[in-house]
Structure 1
Amino acid sequence: MSNYKKVKKQSDNPFLNLYKLDAVDREGKVFDYYFVSRRDEEHIKLKTKDNTPEGIVVYAVTDEEKPRLLVIKEYRYPLDEYIYELPAGIIDPGEVAEQSAVREIKEETGFDLKVYKGGNEAFRRPFYMGLGFTDESNSTVFGTIHVEEVEQQLESAERIQVMLADKEQVKRILKEERVTLRGAYLMMMYLKSENGLDFLEV
């Protein structure tokens, strides 16, 4: 038995839309439930039941003897503030997660990402972002970058500062700055690593 009666799209925007669900509680009463999705009305996940990721987050470390973590400080409109995070983006039509990661790293930071294929494949699965309000899921792509002079390829609405952070800097960011949740968890993994990627071997 389904726990909703119908769903209706409430907005018509290019990247993210609001949906209203006629949800049913445990006593059989119908109530309004709202969520957002990047998908059109026929392909939202409560209909398709798939978990294809809409986006990626990229965990990249330098190929130095003591790897540093690629961190960005990006202006986010909902907060009217800069916030620390790891590079991320939407998977374009026709792309797989790794292709999207290479493109996003080049655009946002200027670096060329070498995708790391080793370690536990389970860490690359799509995981949900926040099921209280969205059906979106993201995959993590891991890799390395070479330290060199680079140039960002930002869109006009993007304000991104690039940082190659060592462990002391990452500790400070986690202690003092505003950080995204997924960025914070990946920073914690970096702090526990010896070569930046060994935690994937679990």
Structure 2
Amino acid sequence: MGKINSITKQTDNRYVNLYNVKATSVHNTPVNYFVASRARDVESLKLVTRKNKPDGVIIYSIYGENHDKVVLIRQYRYTLGDYIYEFPAGLVEPDENYHEGAVREMYEETGLKLEPIPVAEAYQKPYFTTVGMTDESCATVYGYASGQISSKAQEATEEIEVVLADKEEVKRILQEENVAIMTAYMLMHFLEDKEPFAFLNQIK
């Protein structure tokens, strides 16, 4: 196992910062590594706390009386200079758990009401996103969405289109569009499951 010698905060931004990690590898060679993190300071980094508290939440929700549509957003992302299909998602506030965060984020991004469903911990606990670059982790909340689509609660900096996609549209999206990887894997379940969330019954 490598040894971390020092950590220096490189930036001072509100939502994400860059940290420089100086280390010695298991092969006794020097390591100069950079980590992007939601942490506000060195002491809050997951490599320091060793605690995997979710930074954000993603929401896999089904819509419609026949439970035949999945709620997606088509969002412009400056990292790509293009649009990408994702699940509704967002950061968890300090004073809320991730189920509460999911309900809030669903409303803010889509105008829809989310009714979360209980699932085994293995399906909802926070997992890491792009661990070669960041310590960010996200929990997943599953549920059923209802109501009317609205953009009234979206932030002025956001460019979001809400998409209620059936299986044919999901097939097209996977074949032709930019899709976030976590969303893509879940959409593959949506295509294969005869009943919504059937795969969630594999672990009890």
TM-score by length of structure 1 reads 0.95
Query: Could you tell me which amino acid in structure 1 is paired with residue 80 of structure 2?
Result: L
Deviations 1:73-129 (A, max 9, x none): 000011111111111100011110100000000000000000111x43310011011
Unaligned runs of 5+ in 1: none
After TM superposition, give the deviation of residue 194 of structure 1 in Å: 1.9
Quote the residue 1:201 is aligned against.
Answer: 201
Deviations 1:36-70 (A, max 9, x none): 11012111011100111100000000142242000
Give yes or no for contact 2:99–2:141 (8 Å, CA) kept in 1. yes
Q: Secondary structure at the match of 2:99?
A: helix
Structure 2 distance, partners of 1:150, 1:168, is: 21
Query: Could you tell me which amino acid in structure 1 is paired with residue 70 of structure 2?
Result: L
Structure 2 distance, partners of 1:143, 1:162, is: 17
Please give the residue correspondences for 1:10-21 in structure 2 after superposition, counting only pairs within 5 Å.
10-21=10-21
Quote the residue 2:190 is aligned against.
Answer: 190
Please give the residue correspondences for 1:8-87 in structure 2 after superposition, counting only pairs within 5 Å.
8-39=8-39, 40-87=41-88
Deviations 1:176-200 (A, max 9, x none): 1010101101111111212322221
Structure 2 distance, partners of 1:142, 1:162, is: 17
Structure 2 distance, partners of 1:92, 1:2, is: 33
After TM superposition, give the deviation of residue 25 of structure 1 in Å: 1.9
Query: Could you tell me which amino acid in structure 2 is paired with residue 51 of structure 1?
Result: N
Structure 2 distance, partners of 1:19, 1:54, is: 17
Give yes or no for contact 1:34–1:133 (8 Å, CA) kept in 2. yes
Give yes or no for contact 1:75–1:81 (8 Å, CA) kept in 2. yes
Give yes or no for contact 1:67–1:195 (8 Å, CA) kept in 2. no
Structure 2 distance, partners of 1:66, 1:46, is: 41
Runs of 4+ in 1 over 4 A off after TM superposition: none
Query: After alignment, is 190-199 or 54-63 more displaced?
Result: 190-199
1:115 and 2:116 equivalent? yes
Query: After alignment, is 136-145 or 29-38 more displaced?
Result: 29-38
After TM superposition, give the deviation of residue 2 of structure 1 in Å: 5.1
How much is the aligned-residue C-alpha RMSD, in angstroms?
1.3
Query: Could you tell me which amino acid in structure 2 is paired with residue 61 of structure 1?
Result: I
Structure 2 distance, partners of 1:24, 1:181, is: 32
Q: Secondary structure at the match of 2:44?
A: coil
Q: Secondary structure at the match of 2:170?
A: helix
How much identity, in percent, do the aligned residues show?
A: 40
Query: Could you tell me which amino acid in structure 2 is paired with residue 136 of structure 1?
Result: E
Structure 2 distance, partners of 1:190, 1:3, is: 43
Query: Could you tell me which amino acid in structure 2 is paired with residue 85 of structure 1?
Result: E
Query: Could you tell me which amino acid in structure 1 is paired with residue 30 of structure 2?
Result: V
Structure 1 distance, partners of 2:18, 2:121, is: 33
Query: After alignment, is 68-77 or 190-199 more displaced?
Result: 190-199
Deviations 1:115-165 (A, max 9, x none): 111x4331001101111011111000000012x433221101000001110
Structure 2 distance, partners of 1:59, 1:35, is: 28
